Structure 1
Amino acid sequence: MSEHCQEVQVNYNEEVGKSLNDGSNFDGEGQSAEGYKKISDLTPADIKRLEFDSEDDVYAFYSCYAQINGFCVRRDDVRRESNNNIIMRNLVCNRAGLRSKKHMERNDRVREPKPITRTNCMARLRAEFDNHTRKWMIVDFEDTHNHEMTPSQYVHLMPAYRSISDGIKAQVDSLRLHGVRTCHIMGLIIGQKGGHADVGFCKKDLYNYIDQQKRAKINDGDAFAALSYLQAKADSDSFMFSKFTTTEEGRLDNLFWSDGVSRLDYHCFGDVVAFDTTYKKNKYNKPLVVFSGYNHHGETVIFACALVSDEKTETYKWVLETFCECMFGKHPKAVVTDGDGAMREAIRAVLPSSFHRLCAWHLHKNACDNVEEDH
């Protein structure tokens, strides 16, 4: 159990619950002060009299209550005003609802389905915003679960309550820089905290964090090697084109390239371009974008390629703008894609005069995945 939730207190009186106005209500001492109770001592009647300053305070309270009682919280239904402000929020047990049958009965499944964790648990807390008091009020609270709760000694292992703080990350980075092995770093942190239960994360989380740092730095000078290779190609191919962006930390972000033959092929056969991002398996998990088409022999030709950091609209816009720059401003008459929403928005913004068509193979696959056989 984290120290944070052990010390959480809620101030309330018989008339109406007092809101969690500041951090002192969460972390202050005075546990025996009049009018205060620990969250672990609150009754359902107490909880229904509480009020909060914001929706985030409601979520923070219920999350701490859940951690103390051995379950996790999930945001559920929400109601908004015409100005899009949230005025009602439903918080439920993470085991609420049931897994959809269509995910269990898929014929194209490659891996075994994950263990079923949802049990249609009805435990919930609903809060609504009161326009008169300008507070969030608890209007419904159900505390009955239909499953076993996680014992307190294992709550710290639940994914929802595991995280590595910025301070620990800085310590890990420093130790790694001096050659300390990951297993020894974990042992050191456990010793500093006085046991596994107070660490706040498990060994797998630490290994995942270090792996992410390795990928972000692009090990073994791969970024430098790639840029050096493209520069060498440009030295021997005067029509070679490449462009890249970097992150705020100076690391390689997006990379685009096209050689002289590919640019000439586009000039001759670039009326229809396939814009494909389905090639995603590479060392750094960066999506590979491929621009391709067909020549007069019916053979596939590659016009350009790009490695991108993500699959957001802004990233695709940069790729398309760079593609047009590379091809001397010539836009294709038609672009064929797999129907990705972010890609569609980018094409609409950068290539407004080009027809956007969907790939027949992806249409057929989506139909097979989502249409019932008897239809």
Structure 2
Amino acid sequence: MECYGGMGKANGLSPDESENELCLSNNDVVDENDLRKVELLSDEDGREYGYVTGLTAEGIMKKVFRSEEHAYEFYGRLGKCNGFGVHKGDYAKDEDGSVVRRRFLCNRAGLRDGKHYNRLDRKRCHRPETRTNCQALMSVYLDKGSSVWKVRKVILEHNHELIPTGMVHMI
């Protein structure tokens, strides 16, 4: 499985060089050169995000995205490379009704509602428990000044076993 986009191959850079070339700091003011780099980051199929296997939380915090969908595709790629599935969490809207914040969660986040365990008239057995209240997430927000999505919070620790590399295609 290829755990990095074609960016390193296309530009003739190694994955580490392409990552450093395309990462933007959340603390920097975004100028025209930074926006050009963001355009390089967000291609049509959402795969050009550089090397994701060895990324740390600090490396992920430096990423910026052209859209919320590109951020979700990046987190999905990160999840597959590390052995966990992802799903979209809650979001916040501004007064205009536009989404300005979104959370992406591990697929084992949360717990089954307790009322399902206490039913006396249950006719079937419970399905296997898949939720473990995992706290791993990535939260992104829209920077209205530069119109790019930046990473606000990343938690990479999971409270469950991760999927082996050979089984990742089943996520």
What TM-score does the superposition give when structure 2 sets the normalisation length? Answer: 0.77
Higher helix share: 1
Q: What is residue 166 of structure 2 aligned with on the other side?
A: 153
The structure with the larger Rg is 1
- 8 Å contact kept, 1:93–1:122: yes
For 1:118, the equivalent position in structure 2 comes to 131
Whether contact under 8 Å (2:92, 2:101) holds in the other structure is yes
CA distance in 1, matches of 2:67, 2:166: 31
How much does 1:8 deviate?
Answer: 5.7
Whole-Å Cα distance in 1 between the matches of residues 45 and 118 of structure 2? 50
Tell me the residue number matched to 1:138: 151
Q: Is the 8 A contact 1:92 1:123 kept in 2?
A: yes
Instruction: Encode CA deviations 1:165-185: one digit per residue, 9 max, x unaligned.
Output: xxxxxxxxxxxxxxxxxxxxx
Query: Alpha-carbon deviations, 1:133-167, whole Å to 9, x = none?
Result: 10000010000101110001011123xxxxxxxxx
1:76-87 map, 5 Å: 76-87=89-100
- The answer to whether structure 1 residue 65 and structure 2 residue 78 are counterparts is yes
Question: Do the aligned residues in 2 keep the contact of 1:44 with 1:143 (CA within 8 Å)?
Answer: yes
In structure 2, distance between residues paired with 1:139 and 1:122? 15
Gaps of at least 5 residues in structure 1 are 28-35, 159-375
Aligned to 1:99: 112
* Contiguous gaps of at least 5 residues in structure 2: 8-18, 27-33
1:22 aligns with 2:43: yes
TM-aligned CA distance change 1:66 to 1:131, over 3 Å = same
Q: 1:107 to 1:88 in 2, by over 3 A?
A: same
Partner of 1:43: 56
Check whether the contact 1:119–1:146 (CA below 8 A) recurs between aligned residues.
yes
Asked whether the equivalents of residues 12 and 49 of structure 1 are also in contact (C-alpha less than 8 Å), the reply is: no
Query: What SS does the corresponding residue of 2:53 show, helix, strand or coil?
Result: helix
Q: Given the alignment of the two structures, is residue 12 of structure 1 paired with residue 22 of structure 2, yes or no?
A: yes
1:103–1:15 CA distance, 2 compared to 1 (3 A): closer
In structure 2, C-alpha distance between the alignment counterparts of 1:25 and 1:84, rounded to whole Å: 25
Residue 56 of structure 1: aligned partner:
69
CA distance in 2, matches of 1:77, 1:151: 28
Q: Percent sequence identity over matched residues?
A: 34
Aligned residue in 1 for 2:29 = none
Counterpart mapping for 1:282-321 below 5 A: none
Structure 2 CA distance for aligned equivalents of residues 124 and 115 of structure 1 = 23
Letter paired with 2:143: D
- The structure whose RCO (Cα within 8 Å, separation 6+) is larger is 2
CA apart distance, 1:12: 2.5
Report if aligned partners of 2:25, 2:63 keep a CA contact under 8 Å in 1: no
Q: Tell me, what secondary structure is at the counterpart of 1:92?
A: strand
TM-score (norm 1): 0.37
Query: Take 2:73 and 2:90, find their aligned partners in 1: how far apart are those partners?
Result: 17
Q: What is the distance in 1 between the residues matched to 2:68 and 2:45?
A: 18
User: Residues 82 and 118 of structure 1: is their aligned pair in 2 closer, same or farther, counting only changes over 3 Å?
Assistant: same
Answer whether contact 1:71 1:93 (CA < 8 A) is retained: yes
**Corresponding residue for residue 10 of structure 2:** none
Query: 1:58: Cα distance to partner?
Result: 0.6
Q: Distance in 1 between matches of 2:70 and 2:54?
A: 19
Give the aligned partner of residue 108 of structure 1: 121
Distance in 2 between the 1:13 and 1:77 partners? Answer: 26
Amino acid in the other structure paired with 1:7: G
Aligned residues: 148
Q: Deviations over 1:14-55 (max 9, x none)?
A: 64585322148725xxxxxxxx84111222111101100100
1:67-108 per-position Cα deviation (integer Å, ceiling 9, x unaligned): 111101111111001222100001111111111110122222
RMSD over aligned Cα atoms: 2.3
